[in-house]
Amino acid sequence: MKCRKCTISAVINLRQHRLALCREHFNEWFLGHCASTIRKYGMISPGDRMLIAVSGGKDSLGLWDVLTRLGYQVEGLTIQLGIDEGGQYSAKSLECTHKFAKDRGLILHELNIQQEYGESVPQMLQHARAGEDKPCSVCGLVKRHELNRYTMANGFNVLVTGHNLDDEAAVLFTNSLIWNTSQLGRQLPVMEDRGEFAKRIKPFVRFYERETTAYALLNHIDYIEEECPFSTGSRTNHYKTILNGMEDEHPGLKYRYYLSFIENKKAGLLNFAEDRQYVEYLCDQCGQPTNQPGLCAFCRLVGRKI
């Protein structure tokens, strides 16, 4: 297969776009497509102070690289979760992140959950309650809370994350299977600033995961290949595999599934009652938004030490 733009061999075939590209033209397409996503959804305005959440994986490091190449100044934040069961996941992810930032002279902030709250995420898991009993839901709760807190407390106004189209399609699949209207209402490539919640943007939402992986490989980004030990058998990974099986037979299906959802929402054709733009309560302890009076879910979790 030849590159559509020149005559040399293609390294990747983007079947949903009927586009095969060589390394050079893939890079050019990738930067352009990301820039167009940023414009299309009004993600970044002049004067924004951006903080990107970096895990050491292909998506977050790739995105930091792309934003820098597009001329944006973005500082990084890495959260040490203390996940070291059966390997050195957190330690290795920190190593990749450090190296990436150092090589490019980028500013990296670090937050250590154990130092901050006296417990690592796996320790918190041991006293989690029903509904929080899955590693990823506890970990997700901690990350969401801490990313927002750190962004707000340090003078940033935009939090950037590396979610790709496969991540978003898997979330959409999870939530539409059970018609979780409040979650469906909240799923957008941009979550506007809502007082105590910083604006959140996902500039990689129009890329498939194999494209973000290809970008990292072709640009020699040293990312952590090892997976978090808790991700094996996770529901998200299961749904991603199902969607990829369908995509193999029907190229472009994932792309349309997620992007037409977003387009229809933007056009007002899908209205979810819980599409809330306001915050109901503020946590008594940390002051972050919560949907019930008293303590937020995060403060309840860390308050329940064994």
Give the interface with Zn ion as residue ranges (CB under 5 A). Answer: 3, 5-6, 22, 25, 283, 285-286, 296, 299
- 230 touching ligand SF4, by CB under 6 A: yes
Q: Describe the crossing of helices 235-249 and 253-266 by its angle, rounded to 10 degrees.
A: 110
> Least CB distance from residue 293 to another protein, whole Å?
25
Q: Which candidate, 244, 77, 80, 90, places its Cα nearest to that of 153?
A: 77
126 touches ligand SF4 by CB under 6 A:
no
With CB under 6 A as the rule, give the number of residues binding ligand SF4. 8
> Is there a contact between 109 and 76 (Cβ–Cβ < 8 Å)?
yes
In the list another protein, Zn ion, ligand SF4, none, the entry touching 3 (Cβ below 5 to 8 angstroms by class) is: Zn ion
User: Tokens for 125?
Assistant: 């898991």
Chain centroid, CA 221 distance in Å: 18
Q: Does 140 bind ligand SF4 (CB under 6 A)?
A: yes
Distance CA(283)–CA(290), nearest Å, equals: 6
Name the residue nearer to ligand SF4 (CB basis): 21 or 146: 146
CB of 24 to Zn ion, least distance (A): 6
The answer to whether 228 contacts ligand SF4 (rule: CB under 6 A) is: yes
CB of 290 to ligand SF4, least distance (A): 20
For position 139 contacting ligand SF4 by CB under 6 A, the verdict is: yes
Query: For 278, phi and psi rounded to 5 degrees?
Result: -125, 165
In angstroms, give the least distance from the CB of 110 to Zn ion.
22
What CA–CA distance (Å, rounded) separates 280 from 292?
7
Place of tokens 């030990």: 229
Residues in the chain: 306
128 binds ligand SF4 (CB under 6 A): no
Among 56, 57, 135, 162, contact with ligand SF4 (rule: CB under 6 A): 135
Say what the alpha-carbon torsion angle 130, 162, 288, 109 is, to the nearest 10 degrees. 110
How close are the terminal C-alpha atoms of the chain, in Å?
Answer: 59
Question: How many Å apart are CA 178 and CA 107, to the nearest integer?
Answer: 41
How far apart CA 160 and CA 52 sit, in angstroms, is 4
Positions touching another protein (CB under 8 A) are 1, 9-13, 20, 57-59, 135-137, 139-140, 144, 163, 166-167, 171, 208-210, 212-214, 217-218, 225, 227-228, 230-231, 234, 236-237, 240-241, 243-245, 247-248, 254
Residue 36 touching ligand SF4 (CB under 6 A): no
Q: Which residues bind ligand SF4 (CB under 6 A)?
A: 83, 135-136, 139-140, 228, 230-231
